[in-house]
Amino acid sequence: MTVPLPAPHRPRQEGDHPVPPHPAEHAGEATPGGTFTPLRDQLAGAAAAFASGGLLPKLVDDVERAMAVELEIFPVCHHSPASALAMARRLRAKQPKVIYLELCEDLRPVLEELRNCKLPVALQAFATQLDGFPPGSGPLSVIAPITEASAEYQAISYALDTPGVELVLVDRSSDHVFQWEQARADARSGQTDVGIEIGDLRPRFAELEEHLLHHGKVRHWSEWWDQYVEQPLSGADYDTYRQVMVLIGSLFRRLRGPGGPPTDDEDRERYMWTRMREHLRDTGTDPADCLYVCGAFHAASPVMDEPYEITGRTATRWLYGLIPSSHSAIERQFGLAGGSVSIAAATWAKALRRGGVKPYRLSTKPPAATPAAPAKIKAAKAAATGGPANADMLTGFLASPPALDELDEAELLGWCVDLVRLARRNGYLASTADAIAVYETSILLAGMRNRVRPTPYDFQDAAVTCIEKDVVPGRRDVRRLCEILLGGDRFGQVGYHSLPPLAQDVFDRLEPLGLDLSKRTIHRALLDLNADPQLVPVSHLLWLLRRLLPADAARPIMGSRRLGERSHQESWDLALGRHQREIIELGYEAVTVEQVLEQRLRKSVSAPDATAARALEAVEDAILFLGGGRLAQELGARAVELLAAERTVDEAPDVLRRIRRLLAFYRSNEPALPEWCERFVTAGYAHYCTLLPTAFVADDTGLRQVAAMLGFLFTMENLALSLGCDRAQLELAVKQSHPESPAKVALLWAAQTQLGILDRQELRRRCDELLAHPLVVPTFPQYLSGFVQALDPVPSLGPFVVEVISKAFARLPDDVLLPWLPKLITTLRDQAGELLPVLIREAGRVFPGRLATLDQWTPPWHGQGTGPGAGAGSGAGLGAGPGALVGASGQGGAGSAGAHGVGGPAGAMAGVGGAMAAADGAMAGVGMAVPVPGPVNGLLAAHPATADAVAALLGAEAPASGWEQGLRGPGGGGDGTGLTIGAVNAESAGGAGAGGSPGSGAAAALVAEHPRTAEAVADLVGA
Amino acid sequence: MLRAPAETKYADELDYLESIDTGPKPFTWRLSPRMVRIFVLGSERSDGLDREIAQKWFGDRSFVERSIVTLASDRGLLLIGDPGTGKSWLAELLAAAICRNSTLVVQGTAGTTEDHIKYSWNVSMVIAKGQSRQSMIPSPIMTAMEQGMIGRFEELTRSTSDVQDALISILSEKYVSIPELDDDNIVFAQPGFSIIATANSRDRGVNDLSSALKRRFNFVRIPVVTNKKSEAEIVRFRTAELLRRHQIELELPPTLLDILLQSFADLRAASDAAAGDDDRLESALSTAEQIGVLEDAILHSHFFGDRTLRAQTLAGSLVGSLARRSPEDLAILNKYWHGVVEPRGREGGDWGDFLDGGRQAISTLS
């Protein structure tokens, strides 16, 4: 869930009105007559003259009240170098013993880890296991970015590095942040992280901000702040700083209305003051030794004395850590103008150089436990100088014009020259003349905007005016170049010792690569797993990270990880430095990446929307990344449950593909199938048998789904029957199916053929009748689609499908055939792996291999009782049909066919596949009609009789002149070779085989007789 | 005068500003840069002026500031943007404020020649008296040079490259030589001379500027106003001016203005989302276009209607103005009317009348 924090930069909406005075204000109001009386009188006079209401004197009251508090309040604004400078100066002067900081109190332990980090980083509180929040609202995340140019970092560094100084975080805990947001009706959603910042100081309604920007003649808030507060305050003394900040905080606080969304500012203040009172009481610290660092908005709190009962936290388990951040991320999260944080950082660095202020920086080692003597001396010295004087510094500040910076000529010149150089590097035709123009324009612009020294914003505008033309030549425009020049985006980094155990473990395990993965560049890692076996675990981890992290964190260039495969060499592009945050967030889930994956897999299969296909995917992942074992068994068992409970067959193709792959894997790697696999097959057999009749008639069940169901039923049949299923169930299911759409009818006919209910002749007769019927002809392509889909469940139908397609090409009128062709091509493209090998093999077998033989060639189905008229037309039509198809599907197919020396219709038909496969890059049966060089030739030539016998048994025709001649032939012999390999391939790769293909028993006998040959063949064809 | 130039129209404001201006003025400028800004963008209470100066150009303040400082620098100013974004109006205002003369204008067309930028000759005078400074006709740009004023070049990218390149020497050397004359043959630019050119970003690629010329201009890109509030202000301001010019007294109902702004916003969103030019209206849907639509509707109601602006009339003039290509634009408008206006029109009110009027106009044009 995402609950926003109280208004970081959320201007109020229209309709907001200034608040009526708080009831408590009258009671707690500072009495007139103090230091600020003259100013109050002056402002009251002004208020009486120009406005109604007593807002102005109340601002002075607020300042006076804040100044009068015994506990010294240090008001800050975020990303304000002036605040940071004032803080550094004040800490050195006062040396407080306790610092109270407006930051979630539960983040305190993480602060120590800042020592190991390169800023900007963000403190993060993260919760996924929720208790006490509405379900589904997680993960909850609170992010508090810390930059170096901030007062809070100065305070933290001072407190952590000075012995004897205590740092107390007093704001509500992360848990309370969400509790309070829950309680508020206007909780926004859709945000992933809640950002919190110390010193959020911005007008609380849109009109006020608009008004200030308009009259300040600036474009955005950061610029206003810089010009009207930051610059005048950068050299101011502490009292002026404090009073002005409280005044501005008070102004924004009072200019807000009851019409807007409720905020919890006052509750937060009560919370913080309660915590501080508790601490003072418990430790007995003198408030004079303390410093309370809070946003200027909270400095002038009217509720600081009110008691508050702090409620307990929920039982939600919060995890804490540091994540890297960047200037641009902070700007995005808090709605600041682009580049403003970078500009603040640059201003801070410059102020340090100029002002001679020594900032506090966290050392990498914690200080010794005992307080150091010099600190005592300094503290004593500070005590001598006393606290803030509380004199009225406001009147002078408000009455006199701000002391603006003088023109820093050298700095501006440097910017201009550097920018032109940068612009040239980025493709702009910029020259020294442009540098001069930018310089001049910056000064003119600043002059128009009432300042002597051009601000970075003026400089940016001037640069855009002078250098930006009508087009941006490169990736970055001038505005972006200025941002880069003025500091650019800075990325923080969390040091190794502050990383969670998981992240440390990941970097430790990747150590053998010898790369510095903490850098933000992309590293190329080369792993020769054969030569260097110790890299095998590294490769394993990389694959795991690939699975868990965003795609570009670890990207394999070479190598793959699939079931039953192993890479010899791998090459990776690693950008783990850029994805440090994601790795750290993995650390919130578990202690090792393996554990993270295990938990995620378990969660994915137990989710309410889990499906059998997803569970099978989880099993695959468990085998690939976690070695299978008991987890795979559990996930598999869950897959069985999910399958049995499913009422749709939408994912049947996915289920079929995955279970086939898993069965093949287990068969080749395990002595026996796991028990869940057997149960999955039997459950699937019964499940799909039950759903088959409905799926055949349901309109919302696609052809592919039904084909996949049939594929499951037929290809798993042997296994299912051996496990006790009953074939009668399938036969009944097929009998109960009465599809209406032509494509499904064709599929049903194919199923009936497979089951022996329908013989081939009858099927042929039905198709011929359809073709001969002028009223049905327009729907014939749909039948063809059904038959094409049937190639997967009923591969033995291959010759028939080729025959039907050939007939269709020959006899269908163009206006029916041509609109269907794109569909055929796209179907074959999508399912190239399953359908193409069968189709191409059969086409290669049926059509002549050489152009010369085409004249004498008659289709084998001629004279098989289809009638003389049909036969006479088919030859000519066949020539035209596939040719047209090749023409339609591009030159690739024809080209490849020609290159392989296969001409004629067969080549054209192969060309169809070639075109399809070339488009897909996944040509499964390239070798079909091509002589295969290498050991296969040698083997077949050495055992011609065996090869003949295998070919005969598998239904392929051996060349009449024998294998040797076929192999040595100039190209025609490829036909036979390819066929045999294709057949063997199909038989072995098909897993359960083509169920019931004739002669499989004899083949088994032959293989048993020649085991070594069979093994050699199997090895060569990659079975 | 049908349309007075800005310096005439706002003469009293300019006089007033000049009288109180104490700021430093570059070259021979009549107003300091800050006063120029006030003249263009209107005065605020915080400026402390005795009288109010009306806002005349609506848009981001920084565009105006950048334009003014460019004119105070060594370079020319090129205002670039879609048609109807107020480039020429801004140029006119700037010229009027800086030198009280916004009429030194060269209109760039395909037929613009170098003579239009430099000088030409009074042929009869040349025959009678020979070539001399008297028989020479200086171009507006040359006049601006001689008098240290702002010359304007409208639609720079419509003129051919050789004409454009004639500006290079004017902008860098700041003089024009007249080789036909034996003496007094160089016209030097006086301090205060600069050029404001405008270019239409839709004309990109017709006559691209050379790099040399680009270098001599600072580009200020004026975007289409998409902020509904500013747009309403612009339309109201310009329409009031038009009504004054036509001496028409007619109330502009705020609901109709809303309808007009909303329709343009919708059509702009549709244009941005369109895949190709055929799915996009030919019109740039600029603010000027809106003013045109409104003016058309007002005139129509005034002369042919009952002197009250009605939603039907507004719809008719919107369709009439935007449907430029017969099948494409009409198809887009038809789709818009059925997809977007119809649901709103079902509730009746002005949207209902707007729906009817639009339908009728589309069917008439189809």
Chain B: nearest CA to A3, how far in angstroms? 30
Query: Are B63 and B211 in the same domain?
Result: yes
Question: Would you say residue B162 lies in a domain?
Answer: yes
Question: Would you say residue A937 lies in a domain?
Answer: yes
Chain B: nearest CA to A424, how far in angstroms? 14
Chain B: nearest CA to A199, how far in angstroms? 29
Question: Would you say residue A146 lies in a domain?
Answer: yes
Q: Which residues of B touch A434 (CB under 8 A)?
A: 215
Query: Are B133 and B274 in the same domain?
Result: no
Query: Are B131 and B158 in the same domain?
Result: yes
Query: Are A937 and A923 in the same domain?
Result: no
Task: State the DSSP H helix or E strand holding residue B272, giving kind and residue range, or none if neither.
Answer: helix B254-273
Q: Which residues of A touch B80 (CB under 8 A)?
A: 470
Looking at B222, B257, B284, which one is the last position of a domain? B222
Interface test with A, best of B32, B69, B87, B215 (most A CBs within 10 A): B69
Report the relative pairing of strands A319-324 and A121-127 from DSSP bridges. antiparallel
Question: Which residue among A437, A461, A468 sits closest to B74, beta carbon to beta carbon?
Answer: A437
Query: Are A762 and A694 in the same domain?
Result: no
Query: Are A845 and A965 in the same domain?
Result: no
- Distance between first and last Cα of chain A: 50
Task: Please tell me which residue of chain A has the smallest CA distance to B70.
Answer: A441
Question: Would you say residue A614 lies in a domain?
Answer: yes
Sign of CA dihedral B31, B37, B43, B47: negative
Q: Which residues of A touch B69 (CB under 8 A)?
A: 441, 444-445, 448, 462, 465
Query: Are A580 and A717 in the same domain?
Result: no
Give the tokens for residue B108: 């760039």
Contacts of A384 (CB under 8 A, 6+ apart): none
Query: Are B65 and B200 in the same domain?
Result: yes
Whole-angstrom Cα distance, residue B290 to residue B234?
A: 10
Question: Would you say residue B270 lies in a domain?
Answer: yes
Query: Are A92 and A60 in the same domain?
Result: yes
- Chain A residues interacting with chain B (CB cutoff of 8 angstroms): 214-215, 217, 219, 429, 431, 433-434, 437, 440-441, 444-445, 447-449, 461-462, 464-466, 468-470
Query: Are B177 and B250 in the same domain?
Result: no
Query: Are B61 and B210 in the same domain?
Result: yes
Instruction: Provide the domain limits for residue A530.
Output: 499-591
Nearest alpha carbon to residue A1003 among A944, A954, A957: A954
Query: Are A50 and A179 in the same domain?
Result: yes
Question: Which residue among B60, B73, B219 sits closest to A444, beta carbon to beta carbon?
Answer: B73
Q: Which residues of B touch A469 (CB under 8 A)?
A: 214, 219
Query: Are B320 and B194 in the same domain?
Result: no
Instruction: Provide the domain limits for residue B263.
Output: 228-365
Looking at A591, A614, A629, which one is the last position of a domain? A591
Question: Would you say residue A490 lies in a domain?
Answer: no
Report the relative pairing of strands A140-146 and A194-195 from DSSP bridges. parallel
Interface A:B, Cβ pairs < 8 A: 65
Contact B219 A468 (CB under 8 A): yes
Q: What is the pLDDT of residue A237?
A: 84
Looking at A738, A763, A789, which one is the last position of a domain? A738
Looking at B204, B222, B240, which one is the last position of a domain? B222
Contact B61 A444 (CB under 8 A): no
Chain A: nearest CA to B66, how far in angstroms? 7
Query: Are A587 and A597 in the same domain?
Result: no
> Which residues of chain A fall below pLDDT 50?
1-33, 185-191, 372-385, 865-932, 958-1000, 1023
Question: Which residue among B33, B44, B219 sits closest to A470, beta carbon to beta carbon?
Answer: B219
Query: Are A122 and A177 in the same domain?
Result: yes
Nearest alpha carbon to residue A458 among A467, A449, A466: A449
Contact A470 B80 (CB under 8 A): yes
Interface of B with A in 207-246 (CB under 8 A): 209, 211, 214-215, 218-221
Whole-angstrom Cα distance, residue A466 to residue A455?
A: 17
Residue type, A369: A
Give the tokens for residue A119: 């800023």
Contact A470 B74 (CB under 8 A): no
Question: Would you say residue A41 lies in a domain?
Answer: yes
Q: What is the pLDDT of residue A429?
A: 87
- Please compute the mean of the pLDDT values over residues B82-86 and round it to a whole number: 85
Q: What is the pLDDT of residue A542?
A: 92
Chain B: nearest CA to A441, how far in angstroms? 6
The DSSP line for A237-301 is -HHHHHHHHHHHHHHHHHS--TTS----HHHHHHHHHHHHHHHHHHH---GGGEEEEEEHHHHT-
Task: Please tell me which residue of chain B has the smallest CA distance to A441.
Answer: B69
What's the predicted TM-score (pTM) here? Answer: 0.62
Chain A: nearest CA to B227, how far in angstroms? 14
Q: Which residues of A touch B215 (CB under 8 A)?
A: 429, 431, 433-434
Q: Which residues of B touch A445 (CB under 8 A)?
A: 65-66, 69
Query: Are B287 and B333 in the same domain?
Result: yes
Query: Are B195 and B309 in the same domain?
Result: no
Q: Each residue of A435-462: b (16+ CB within 10 Å) or e?
A: bbbbbbbbbbbbbbbebebbbbbbbbbb
Interface test with B, best of A428, A440, A442, A466 (most B CBs within 10 A): A466
Contact B73 A470 (CB under 8 A): no
Query: Are B233 and B307 in the same domain?
Result: yes
Interface test with A, best of B156, B203, B218 (most A CBs within 10 A): B218
Number of domains in chain B: 2
Q: Angle at the Cα of B260 (from B257 to B261), degrees rounded to 5?
A: 85
Chain B: nearest CA to A468, how far in angstroms? 7
Q: Angle at the Cα of A690 (from A684 to A691), degrees rounded to 5?
A: 90
ipTM score over 0.90, yes or no: no
Chain B: nearest CA to A239, how far in angstroms? 29
Q: What is the pLDDT of residue A884?
A: 36
Could you tell me the CATH number of the domain that includes residue B133?
Answer: 3.40.50.300
The string of pLDDT tens digits covering residues B233-270 is: 888 888 888 888 788 877 788 888 889 988 988 888 88
Q: Which residues of A touch B70 (CB under 8 A)?
A: 441, 465
Question: Would you say residue A628 lies in a domain?
Answer: yes
Chain B: nearest CA to A439, how far in angstroms? 11
Q: Which residues of A touch B72 (CB under 8 A)?
A: 444
Whole-angstrom Cα distance, residue A830 to residue A819?
A: 18
Looking at B176, B191, B222, which one is the last position of a domain? B222
Q: Which residues of A touch B66 (CB under 8 A)?
A: 441, 445, 461-462, 464-465
Question: Would you say residue B167 lies in a domain?
Answer: yes
Q: Which residues of B touch A447 (CB under 8 A)?
A: 33
Query: Are A379 and A254 in the same domain?
Result: yes
Looking at A546, A566, A591, which one is the last position of a domain? A591
Query: Are B31 and B179 in the same domain?
Result: yes
Nearest alpha carbon to residue A599 among A626, A620, A561, A633: A626
CB A1022 within 8 A of CB A935: no
Whole-angstrom Cα distance, residue A8 to residue A332?
A: 12
Task: Please tell me which residue of chain A has the smallest CA distance to B212.
Answer: A429
Question: Would you say residue A955 lies in a domain?
Answer: yes
Give the tokens for residue B117: 């930028």
Contacts of A872 (CB under 8 A, 6+ apart): none
Task: Please tell me which residue of chain A has the smallest CA distance to B60.
Answer: A219
Owner of token pair 């059969």: A842
Question: Would you say residue B350 lies in a domain?
Answer: yes
Query: Are A780 and A663 in the same domain?
Result: no
Nearest alpha carbon to residue B314 among B333, B295, B286: B295
The string of pLDDT tens digits covering residues A434-487 is: 999 999 899 888 888 877 778 888 898 999 999 998 888 888 889 888 888 877
Question: Would you say residue B1 lies in a domain?
Answer: no
The residue count of chain B comes to 366
Give the tokens for residue B163: 């004409």
Query: Are A749 and A733 in the same domain?
Result: no
Question: Would you say residue A5 lies in a domain?
Answer: no
What is the phi/psi pair of residue A355, to 5°? -85, -10
CB A974 within 8 A of CB A900: yes
Q: What is the pLDDT of residue A924?
A: 34
Chain A: nearest CA to B172, how far in angstroms? 12
Among A688-697, B102-111, B221-230, B290-299, the range scoring the smallest mean pLDDT is B221-230
CB B169 within 8 A of CB B188: no
Query: Are A208 and A76 in the same domain?
Result: yes
CB A297 within 8 A of CB A200: yes
Number of domains in chain A: 6
The string of pLDDT tens digits covering residues A929-986 is: 344 455 666 677 777 777 777 777 665 554 444 444 444 434 333 333 333 333 333 3
